[in-house]
Amino acid sequence: MDDTGSKRQAGVRDRDGAGRARSARPRDGLGRPLPYGVQGVARQPEGVVRTPERTVAEAQELLDAGRPFHAHEVFEDAWKSGPEQERGLWRGLAQLAVGLTHAARGNVTGGARLLRRGAGNVAEWAAHSGVRRPYGMDLAGLDVWARELADGVERDGGAVDPAARAPRLR
């Protein structure tokens, strides 16, 4: 058994360099944990500060590749590192990506709920900020996309193909 497996059996939590709890378990393409020792999909590095334009471009690449969980992490970095007045925008976009993640995992209730919550947060941010196309993003189109996908997930049940159902951010 490797050292990581021994630690897990002993009840010791995986920690990052700063001492924060972080799971070292490998993950699949939708962010689900896999058993220790199994080859997973490379994770997005956390805490990366990107320009808003780079955030949108990188998230779109991940969404197009069927990796909405990873796009969520890119949006989360922007949410945590960006200006206070944009946090609602990035949080809403992260919720849309994780909603798609749950829908792709077959979690009908969680997927629909997060898609609607994200749509509401994006629409609310646009209404309060007066900015309709921040960084070239089509917020009205994302709102429609998310609500239609949520309705379809509830109506049809089952998992969706995340690459086929990925939104167009711009």
Dump pLDDT digits (tens) for 92-140.
999 999 999 999 999 999 999 999 999 999 999 999 999 989 999 999 9
For 18-31, b/e burial (b = at least 16 CB within 10 A) is eeeeeeebbbebbb
Domain boundaries, the chain: 1-42, 52-156
Residue 38 DSSP one-character state: S
Distance CA 23, CA 122 (A): 30
CATH class, range 52-156 = mainly alpha
CB atoms within 10 A of CB 156: 9
Q: Residue 31: left if φ>0, alpha if ψ -120 to 50, beta else—which one? A: left
Q: Is the pLDDT of residue 74 over 80?
A: yes
Residue 53: both structure tokens together: 């334009």
Dump pLDDT digits (tens) for 4-41.
454 454 556 677 677 765 667 888 888 888 888 888 88
